[in-house]
A and B are shown apart, each in its own frame.
Chain A
Amino acid sequence: MAFGATLASILSTGLAMGAIYALIGITYNVMYSTSRVMSFTAGQLGMLGGVLGALFTLRLGMPLLVGFALTLLCCAVVGMVTEFVAVRPVLASLDQHLYVLSTLALALIIQQVTAIEWSTEPQAFPRLFGIGSGALDEKFWLPVVACAMTMGALEWMQRKTLVGRAFLAVAEDNFAARALGLPERNLRIASYALAGAIGGIAGYAGGELMLAFFANGAFLNFYGFVPVALGGLGNNRGAIVGGVALGIFQQAANFLVGGIFASVAVFVVFIVVLLAVPQGLFGTSTARRV
C-alpha cells in the first residue's frame, strides 16, 4: 500500500518534471537548430511562462485563455529578443563562443528584472481546470500532455509544412540552405519565436507544480540542459527520453537518499555520461573542423 503510493508519487512527479525538462531541452534544441547557439535564456523562458501566466490570470484578472495566449506571445517575443540582442551580433564569430556570454547576460537580466519587479518569493499559479487529485492531479499530467502535444506538433510541422521543412534544411546545413535561396535569417528569427513559445508552454504547464518563482529560470537552465546532453544536441526525441529519465531518476533519488544527495547524484551522472559519450546517447558525432 505504502509502496504503491510511493511509486505513484515518484512516477507522477518524475514524469511531470521530466516533461518540463524535456520541453526546456526542446527549447534549447530549436534555438540551436537554426543558429548553432545554445542559449542560457532557455530556462528563463520556462520561468517566464510560469510568472507571466500568474501575472495575467491572477494579478491582472484576465480570462484563462487570454492569459495563456498572452503568455506564449510574450515568451515568443523574448525568444526573438534573444535572437536580436544576444545571438545575431555574435553569430559571425561563433567559434569564439561569445554567445555563451551574451545569452548568459540576457538571462541574468531577465532573472533580475523578474526578481525585482515580480517577487523573490514563489507566487501562486492559477488552477487551470481543476481536474484530478492525488497522483492524477492536473498539475502532474498537464506537463506530460503539453510535452506530448508540443512534440507531436513539431513533428507534424517538420513533415507536413513548408516552414517545417525549411527549418530542417537550415538545421542540416545552413550554408546550403542559404544557397538554395531559403530566407535563413527569417527562419532563424521564427525558430527563436517558436523556441520562446515552447519554453513558455513548459513554464505554463508546469506552473502549478513549480509555482511562479524567479529562481526557476536558473534551475531549468541546468536541468533542462541535462536532457540535451543526454539525448544528443538537436535531437528532440532524445531530449524527451533524457528528460523523462532525468525526472524519474531525480524523484527516485529524492525519495531514496533525500534532496541534497539527489542533486549530487544527478550532477555526477551528468558528468560521467558526458565524459563517456560526449555526443549524447542518441547524438551524432560532431562536424568536421578542418
Chain B
Amino acid sequence: MTISRRTFTVGSAGTLGLAAHGLLKPAFAQSEPVKIGWLAALTGPSSAPAVGFNRGVMYAVESINAAGGVKGRKIELTTRDTQGDPTKAVNATQEMISAAKVHAIWGPTNSGEALATTPLMARAKMPNLHPCVVDSLIDTGKFPNAFRMAPSNTQWDDAVRNYALKILKAKKVAVIGDTTGYGTAAAKASVEACKKDGAEVVYTAQIDATQPDMTPDMLRMKNAGAEAIISWSTSTGMAARLFNARAGLNWDVPFVGHPSLGSGEVGTLIEKPANWEKVYTINYRSCSFDADGKLPARTQEFLDKSAGKIDLKDTLLWWVVSGVDVINLLAKAVETTGSTDSEGIIKYLNGLNKYPGLFGSYTWTPTEHNGYPTDEIVMGLANSSKSGALKLAPGY
C-alpha cells in the first residue's frame, strides 16, 4: 500500500512538473548529483578491507568530481560506518533507501551484514554492488539487483584447492577455519570440495582465533599426516600463531588460504621472518608481481597516476583498486544510460561484458551476477607484500 501511494505521488508530481515547467524538469535532473551509498565497516574488528576500499572510493570520487563529474553531475557519496554489525547495516541501508534516496549502494563489506541487507535492497530494487564472498548472496532470481564485484567463495576455494592439490600435489590436506561465521562456513565448503576432488581431508577444525597457542591443533594435523594446510580465517593473530607453532614443531608443511595470511600485520606477529615462508595466499593477477618484479601495465599506470594520493603501506592493493572500480563503473553506468534510474543502472550492469576494471574484467549477465573471472585469481607469496601487491606463488 505504501509503495503504491508513493508511486502515485511521484507519478503525479512528474506529470505536474512536466506540464508546468516544460523543459526545466530535465535540466534539474541533469544537475542533481549522482548519489552513491557506501556501507563500510570502517571501524571495529575486521575493518581492514573496508578501510582499503574506502581509500580507492575516495580517490575515484575526487578524481571524477575534479574532472567535472558525470555529464556535469557531481558524485555525492553517503558513507555510513556499520562497524561490521548487521543491525547497524540494516538501519543504514533503510536510511539510504528511504531517507537519503541514493541511486546505488556499494557494500556492505562483511558477509554477515550483506546477508541481512541484500533482501532489503532487493525489495527496493536498489542497484547494489558488494565485495562479499558468500555464495548465497548472489541469486539473480531472489536478488536481481545485487552484483558481486569480487570472486565468490567458491572461486576462492577453487583457486586455493587447485593450488594445494594440483601444484603442491598434496594428497592429504587439513582444512581449518576460525570460529567466526565466515570461518566456519568457508571451512565447511572447502572440506566438501576437497573430498569431491578426491583429496583426503585428514583433519578439520574450527579454531578459536584468540587461543594463545596453536600447537595442539598443529600437532594433530601433523600426526594426521597433512601435506598441506588450507586455512579460512580473517584473523591475522591466528595466522601468525599457526606459523609460529609450525616452526616450533620443525614442520615445513605449506599453508594455502585466505588473503589475511598475507596481511602485513602477520609480519609483525611472527617470531622470526622464516616462519612466514611457504605460505600461499589468494591474490589476483592484477595485483601480482611477475617473475621480473613487474605489475601488469594497467595497474602500474594507476599506481603512477595516484602516487602520493593513496596510502598503500598498510593495506592490500586489490581492496583499493576494486574501490576505484566500483565508483568508475557506476559513473560509467550513469553516463551511458544518461540517468540515475535504478532500472537503467541494473540493465546496464546486466549487459556488461569484460569491462576492463583495474582489479579485473567484470562480466555480468541477467542470469549470472558473479562477475569476476576465475582465471584472474592466483596464489601469491604471503611474505612478499610491496605496495599491497604480492609476488606470484611458484607454479604459475
- List residues of chain A with CB under 8 Å of any chain B CB: 2, 5-6, 9-10, 12-13, 16-17, 115-116, 120-124, 127, 133-134, 137, 140, 206, 209-211, 213, 215-216, 219, 251, 254-255, 258-260, 262-263
Contacts and interface: CB of A to CB of B under 8 A. Distances in A.
Given A127-B271, A259-B179, A9 B219 contact: yes
Interface stretch (B53-61, B203-211, B322-330): B203-211
A121 B235 CA distance: 8
A259 B207 contact: yes
Given A9-B213, A210-B212, A263-B208, 9 more contacts: A116-B43, A121-B236, A122-B235, A122-B237, A124-B269, A133-B248, A215-B210, A259-B179, A259-B205
B2 interface: no
Given A17-B212, A137-B248, A122 B236 contact: yes
A260 B248 CA distance: 24
B208 A260 contact: yes
Nearest to B248: A134
Interface string B190-219: 000000000000000111101111011001
A10 B219 CA distance: 11
Contacts of A219: 210
Question: Which 3 A/B pairs are nearest by Cβ-Cβ distance?
Answer: A122-B237, A259-B208, A209-B212
B82 to A, nearest CB: 14
Nearest to B178: A259
The bracket for how many chain B residues form the interface is 20 to 34
Contacts of A211: 237, 269
B98 interface: no
A16 B223 CA distance: 24
17 contacts: A2-B223, A5-B219, A13-B213, A17-B212, A120-B43, A121-B45, A121-B237, A121-B265, A122-B236, A123-B265, A123-B268, A123-B269, A124-B268, A133-B248, A215-B210, A260-B179, A262-B208
Nearest to A252: B216
B10 to A, nearest CB: 42
Contacts of A12: 213
A32 to B, nearest CB: 27
A140 B205 CA distance: 24
A243 to B, nearest CB: 14
A215 B209 CA distance: 11
A255 B213 CA distance: 11
A6 B210 contact: no
B216 A255 contact: yes
B216 to A, nearest CB: 5
B239 to A, nearest CB: 10
Contacts of A121: 45, 48, 236-237, 265
A13 B43 CA distance: 32
B47 A259 contact: no
B111 to A, nearest CB: 18
B266 to A, nearest CB: 10
Contacts of B181: none
Contacts of B248: 133-134, 137
A51 to B, nearest CB: 13
B288 to A, nearest CB: 25
B211 A213 contact: no
Contact of A259 (B44, B211, B271): B211
A127 B47 CA distance: 28
A13 B210 contact: no
Contacts of A262: 208
Contact of A254 (B47, B48, B216, B236): B216
Contacts of A206: 212
A140 B213 CA distance: 10
A255 to B, nearest CB: 5
Contact of B269 (A6, A17, A120, A122): A122
A148 to B, nearest CB: 19
Interface string B265-293: 10011010000000000000000000000
Nearest to B247: A133
A263 to B, nearest CB: 7
Contact of A213 (B208, B215, B237): B237
A219 B212 CA distance: 12
Interface in B365-380: none
B213 A209 contact: yes
Contacts of B43: 116, 120
Nearest to A115: B44
A67 B217 CA distance: 34
